[in-house]
Structure 1
């Protein structure tokens, strides 16, 4: 079974990026993969500190790392804060990239296929944060899809139920989900 993690770099309950990654996950499921939707708000992840890490990786981090270890890819959407990725996402990446004292998982991103997305109410759609996210995950050994989705004016892109109604954006999300699914299936078969 090929599994993708669908994750948004936001703790906000009604996050536009959660809506976007949900749309990507539904599209990926049409291409023969299983999608596991995760919400960072469900994990009590402390601010990364090597002192805290030396005391033992928190159980919440190990739980999250185990989910990543059992996946072949990641659909990731993050808001752009101050021209970069969200602090909560960067903190999660910092924890997930570290080896664990209690389990042999290593970096949660190495050899994982990643599809990057961002939704923003602004006109750039979070594009500046996407390039930073790409650099970080590339350095951690992830296989980044060449396609990405930057969704500008995102408040108008979704209906009241949170469904993506912008047809052009929906096609781009479908293409990204197909690429990530195809690569993850190939890696899992190989």
Structure 2
């Protein structure tokens, strides 16, 4: 049986995003641990702000594509910047679109999230490493029926935590492979084709 499929994305669209750098390191670790990782950038989807009227008129094609990617994968690796004590708007918007039901689905079907697992991380220039944003992300994902790995990675003073070779902060370097191993294990255990028929 092949490894679980993980979708990796950051809640930052900035070209030199520290969270994107952190995510890339985690994605590489997940591949080393046997996962099949699909890395995407939310900026490529150019999603409108979620609007019920827009949804009723016509579900945006790019939102449909993103939702399909969520459905196809067994779990997620998500890095979020912390904006005013919470997650970024672009990340929340992507989650909101992906969580919306389509024709014939109930509000609680949540095929993009239910029964899946997420590993979450944050890089922040603050001394707290984005912990408040991670707490909000954990709550959001739990609400839409995604299990969040107990381990998480917070990189404080992130503007000084990377060099050309990668991450230099000692504690996050230790935690990334531990978190990733947990996500890969849980995603493999929870995925549909691993369940008894």
TM-score scaled by structure 2? 0.90
**Cα distance in structure 1, aligned partners of 2:105 and 2:24:** 30
- Residues in 2 aligned to 1:122 and 1:157: alpha-carbon distance in whole angstroms: 12
Other-structure match for 1:23? 25
1:173 counterpart (173, 176, 181): 176
CA drift at 1:86: 0.5
Aligned to 1:35: 37
1:167 Cα deviation from its structure 2 partner: 3.1
CA deviations over 1:25-79 (Å, ceiling 9, x no partner)? 1111111111110100110200000000001210101111111111001001100
8 Å CA contact 1:62, 1:100 repeated in 2: no
Structure 1 gaps, min length 5:
none
- Find the aligned partners of 2:133 and 2:148 in 1 and give their Cα distance: 15
TM-score (norm 1): 0.94
- Asked whether the equivalents of residues 9 and 40 of structure 2 are also in contact (C-alpha less than 8 Å), the reply is yes
What is the CA–CA distance in structure 1 between the aligned matches of 2:105 and 2:63, rounded to whole Å? Answer: 11
In the TM superposition, structure 1's runs of 4+ consecutive aligned residues that sit over 6 Å from their partners are 102-105
Cα RMSD for the two superposed structures: 1.8
1:109 equivalenced with 2:79 (yes/no)? no
Match of 2:151 among 102, 124, 147: 147
**How many residues end up aligned between the 2 structures?**
189
Match of 1:184 among 176, 184, 187: 187
Residues of 2 paired with 1:174 and 1:28: CA distance?
8
Cα deviation code 1:162-183 (max 9, x no counterpart): x223232111111111100011
- Structure 2 unmatched runs, 5+: none
Note if contact 1:148-1:176 (Cα within 8 Å) is conserved in structure 2: yes
Residues 29 and 159 from structure 1, CA distance in 2 versus in 1: closer, same or farther, beyond 3 angstroms? same
Residue matched to 2:81 = 79
1:67 is matched with: 69
Comparing 150-159 with 131-140, greater Cα deviation is found at 150-159
Determine the C-alpha separation between the residues in 1 that align with 2:186 and 2:167: 24
Q: Deviations over 1:115-162 (max 9, x none)?
A: 11110011000000111111111000001101111110112221136x
